[in-house]
Amino acid sequence: MILVHSFNSSIDITYQINHLNIGQVHRPNTVIKNAGGKGINVAKVLNQLKENVLLMGYIAGNNGKTIKTKLENITLSNEFIETDGESRICIAINDGVHQTEILESGPLIKKVYQKEYIHKLKRKQHCNVQVISGSTPILEDATPLEHTHTILNSIESNYNIVDVRASELQQLLQYDEVHCIKPNETEFDELIGFTCEHLEQRIDVLKHNPLFQNKDVFLTLGGNGALIKRNNHLYRAHIPNMQIVNPVGSGDSTVAGIAYGIENLFDDEMMIKFAMACGISNAMNEQTGYISLSQINELIDKIKVEKI
């Protein structure tokens, strides 16, 4: 079973308009409302891959109920802790050129609900792969680091993938329970504390920086593929040029692909190809967290993995 945590789930609303003019009234051409948040995107992709996935998280109020209903409509197994307040709404306004985003921060999670979450998790005892993805909401009496570390220690898991803010990751990497991270270039630079000028420099950092010792790192490079450190070997993934529609959520889809590869005992090369194909397929489709199995099958043959 793959267990995915989404601590700060949201209703994601996308408004498609012609031009965004500050101070003017806008009537959107289309409105899309989805259950969102990085963890939810990961779980959605695993669900489309027909993997045995369970989504856990906090939800609150009527927005929380809407999130749960939307997930149940796509038969995604979920177990949420219901908290006080309202789950957040995240708005993206797309005018064909730019995307303007308004992101709420979500409700405060009281200590009593954090305890309930841990209790629920401990009762499960074991999962094979676990994913923690996305931001942590405001917590009563705990830092995001403490919260994530407690979650990682509350269930036995063979492989933990953590995709959270670089500022949290820096400290989380000291824990043996973090097996794999998936930063993009910006997050990677923030993590190491300086901006890499070129690919060779990133390879050098991946090889020698003690932060990454004994960790698997999927450093994704958007349309340029990825650099991967897996089992202390380094790889470069070269991806084909495809018609891209919406790359938002490609990182989350890549995380889903990594989890799927680990769960299904893929070798390194196949796992990398599969994870890349999930990311590209998401980018080729309009909806965030949506992949197509036929696209993935076609893409796998076009992705080249080079050992470096």
Residues engaged in binding ligand ATP (CB under 6 A): 184, 220-223, 225-226, 239, 242, 244, 247-252, 254, 276, 279-280, 283
Please, what is the minimum distance in Å from the beta carbon of residue 263 to ligand ATP? Answer: 19
Please, what is the minimum distance in Å from the beta carbon of residue 295 to ligand ATP? Answer: 12
- CB closer to ligand ATP out of 107 and 183: 183
Element holding 33 (H helix, E strand): strand 30-36
Radius of gyration of the chain (CA): 19
Which residues 6+ apart lie within 8 Å of 99 measured at CB? 92, 93, 248
Please, what is the minimum distance in Å from the beta carbon of residue 150 to ligand ATP? Answer: 25
- CB closer to ligand ATP out of 154 and 285: 285
Query: What tokens appear for 26 in the block?
Result: 């806008």
- CB closer to ligand ATP out of 1 and 203: 203
Residues 136, 163: Cα–Cα separation, whole Å: 11
Which residue from 42, 44, 46, 16 is spatially nearest to 29, judged by alpha carbons? 16
DSSP 93: E
DSSP 245: S
The amino acid at residue 202 is R
Please, what is the minimum distance in Å from the beta carbon of residue 250 to ligand ATP? Answer: 3
- CB closer to ligand ATP out of 157 and 250: 250
Please, what is the minimum distance in Å from the beta carbon of residue 243 to ligand ATP? Answer: 9
Q: Residue with CB nearest ligand ATP?
A: 251
- CB closer to ligand ATP out of 57 and 225: 225
The amino acid at residue 26 is H
